[in-house]
Amino acid sequence: MKYGGPFTIIYAMSQQNVSTHWADIYADKIIREKGEKELYTCASGITPSGTVHIGNFREIISVELVVRALRDKGKNVRFIYSWDDYDVFRKVPKNMPNPELLATYLRKPITLVPDTTGRAENYARANEVDVERILPTVGIECEYLYQAERYRSGMYCEGMRTALEKKEEIRAILDEFRTEDLDDDWWPIAVFSSFTDKDTTTILDWDGEWAVTYRDDETGQIETIDLRHTPYAKLPWRLDWPMRWAFEGVDFEPAGKDHHSEGGSFDTSRKMVRVFGAEAPVSFQYDFISIKGRGGKISSSSGEVISLYEVLEVYTPEITRYLFAGTRPNSEFAISFDLDVLKIYEDYDTCERIYFGLQEVNEKRRAKEKRIYELSQVGEVPTEASFQIPFRHLCNLLQLHEGDIERALDTLGEMSESQRERLTVRSRCAWNWITTFSPEDFRYRLMRADDPLVELNDEERSAVQALARVVEVMDEIDDGEYTTGLYDAAKLNGLDTGDFFKLVYRIMIGKERGPKLGPFLKTCGKEKVLSILTRY
RNA sequence: GGGCCGCUAGCUCAGUAGGUAGAGCAACGCCCUUUUAAGGCGUGGGUCACAGGUCCGAAUCCUGUGCGGCUCACCA
């Protein structure tokens, strides 16, 4: 063996074999703080009480990246995602069909609320399904845990009993940060009424074991339930979270900055988890995501939110991952739908070139970009780079072919099957972007035979005909001669070159301006250009 | 009031296991016999908010100050 011994190891570590990517750093931290374990549990979760938006996605992708980092270190990892679908339906969301019907379900668990969009068996499930269906697209596979099901099956009865037993301890932790202390008659569990399914109940008594007596505040009915068998009891959020950490043995779970403030729910949970006999997971705080460049398309007051689905219309799965893998979680960033899209694609391509050694950079940068590229892949890292063309050029090609991706790609020459596949996915995103979000200036369409002709005077007509003769041979002559030909077509017919170019754009794409003419005509190809010019 | 984050080129931001300050855009210049919106090459530009401290060495670590933002203290 060539390698071995402590010196080699130290040398290797000093030579950047240790990744400085945040996901790897947290993976190391988990191993360091939790020790060597047979199985590490990483958790994420959210309430499906509304459309799950891209901000929520940051949490799950952050966990997934750390999970991947742990697995890359040879660790066995359980990746769980808790749907808090035993949460209460507090208000009817905007833009939902049949709001009157929904209003009658307020204060009931969201898992009992009907889905008025008709997509799933209930409201919570509809939101869950949307997410569960799309996550594999970006390479995320996890184990879903449904809180409603678990509470109702009695799985958490021990946790609830523990909460009741340690009521005063828990109260003290919560009161530490409250402006007003909890009421004397506060209880650490919540009960849905078996008469109305609503959470409008008051707990009256606990027998010290499993029996809890409550009153339905609406009907006045009183009932005693057994925590081991009742489907109606649950823990409030600030207790539910630490209880689940203990129950699942969670080693890692990040949280948003709202939770991570002192006195926030992560903070109280961290203190409370000992009540349930466990230690807090390793965590970090992730910041919010904002959206840039969808102005005009939606009104921000309409309540419409951007979900992963919308992002994937414009960004490929790899680039979507890249956005998150390439940004430290504790910094806020915007997902852009405006011209920044071009830069993001170019940045990703640069990252890819560096990974494949097609672009020289210093070693430090290379190591960083390489890791980001790996983590951005949905599945296995490709064995060859993409067929790279500038994103702008791709947009031009697609517009020239009016969105016909197959034909546009056919003009590009030889590429492997995998390259063609990847470029096809990218083309779909590019086309969506062009047609939905690109600036008006960016868009055009080649004129067709049935489009009205532009009126020309004699000089203009002969200039256009002269241009046609240049185009006829443009693939054979050199660039200098070609460019000269373009200008001469105008000059020799007594036209100002600026006016002439405008004229050509009107003829070609019906606009005053367009992509730089020389390269543009070449990209279009002789055939297409002549079919338009020869109309004159 | 507590907590967290940020302050780096004209603009938007990279860059924190300490080791000669980077990119894109903008500007400027040159080239493709004139930018025609999207081409190529190149140049200039920063007291890394401020003040201390640790260190051979600090944008990076520590302390303090200022400014900006977010968040918690109700529910989840």
Interatomic distance A55 CA / B72 C1' (Å): 19
Q: Is the pLDDT of residue A7 over 80?
A: no
What Cα–Cα distance (Å) separates residue A448 from each residue in A204, A344, A520, A534?
A: 79, 33, 17, 12
Provide the phi-psi class of A510: left if phi over 0, else alpha when psi is between -120 and 50, else beta: left
Interatomic distance A404 CA / B22 C1' (Å): 40
pLDDT digits (tens, 9 = 90+) for A507-522: 888 887 777 787 788 7
Interatomic distance A114 CA / B42 C1' (Å): 65
With tokens 């339906």, the residue in question is A89
Task: Please check whether strand B approaches the CB of A178 to within 7 Å.
Answer: yes
- Report chain A's terminal Cα–Cα distance, integer Å: 76
The two counts, helices (H) then strands (E), for chain A are: 23, 12
Identify whether the C-beta of residue A26 lies closer than 8 Å to the C-beta of residue A42.
Answer: no
Query: Distance (Å, rounded) from C-alpha A406 to C-alpha A319?
Result: 22
Range list of H helices, A119-236: 123-134, 147-152, 157-165, 167-175
Q: Tell me what ipTM this predicted complex has.
A: 0.87
Nucleotides of B under 7 A from a protein CB: 1-6, 14-17, 24, 32-34, 36-39, 70-76
Q: How far is CA A380 from the centre of its chain?
A: 20
Comparing every residue's Cα with the C1' atom of nucleotide B32, the nearest one is A480
Token pair belonging to A50: 């509304």
CA angle A128, A131, A132 (to 5 degrees): 80
Could you say which residues 342-371 of protein chain A have a Cβ atom less than 7 A away from any atom in strand B? Answer: 343, 368
Task: Please check whether strand B approaches the CB of A262 to within 7 Å.
Answer: yes
pLDDT number for residue A301? 40
Task: Please check whether strand B approaches the CB of A261 to within 7 Å.
Answer: yes
pLDDT number for residue A304? 58
Identify whether the C-beta of residue A245 lies closer than 8 Å to the C-beta of residue A276.
Answer: yes
What Cα–Cα distance (Å) separates residue A77 from each residue in A5, A42, A58, A71, A143?
A: 30, 7, 20, 7, 11
Name the nucleotide with the smallest C1'–CA separation from A174: B73
pLDDT digits (tens, 9 = 90+) for A129-180: 999 999 999 999 999 999 999 999 999 999 999 999 999 999 999 999 888 8
Give the pLDDT mean for A201-227: 96
B/e letters for A404-416, b = 16+ CB within 10 Å, e = fewer, are ebeebbeeeeeee
Name the nucleotide with the smallest C1'–CA separation from A504: B36
Interatomic distance A52 CA / B7 C1' (Å): 33
- Which of A87-101, A128-142, A388-402 is the most confident on average? A128-142
Query: Distance (Å, rounded) from C-alpha A237 to C-alpha A174?
Result: 12
Interatomic distance A289 CA / B72 C1' (Å): 19
pLDDT digits (tens, 9 = 90+) for A435-458: 888 877 778 888 887 888 887 787
pLDDT number for residue A234? 96
Interatomic distance A300 CA / B45 C1' (Å): 39
> Considering the entire predicted model, what is its pTM?
0.90
Task: Please check whether strand B approaches the CB of A492 to within 7 Å.
Answer: no
Task: Please check whether strand B approaches the CB of A392 to within 7 Å.
Answer: yes
Could you say which residues 99-158 of protein chain A have a Cβ atom less than 7 A away from any atom in strand B? Answer: none
Identify whether the C-beta of residue A187 lies closer than 8 Å to the C-beta of residue A199.
Answer: no
pLDDT number for residue A260? 86
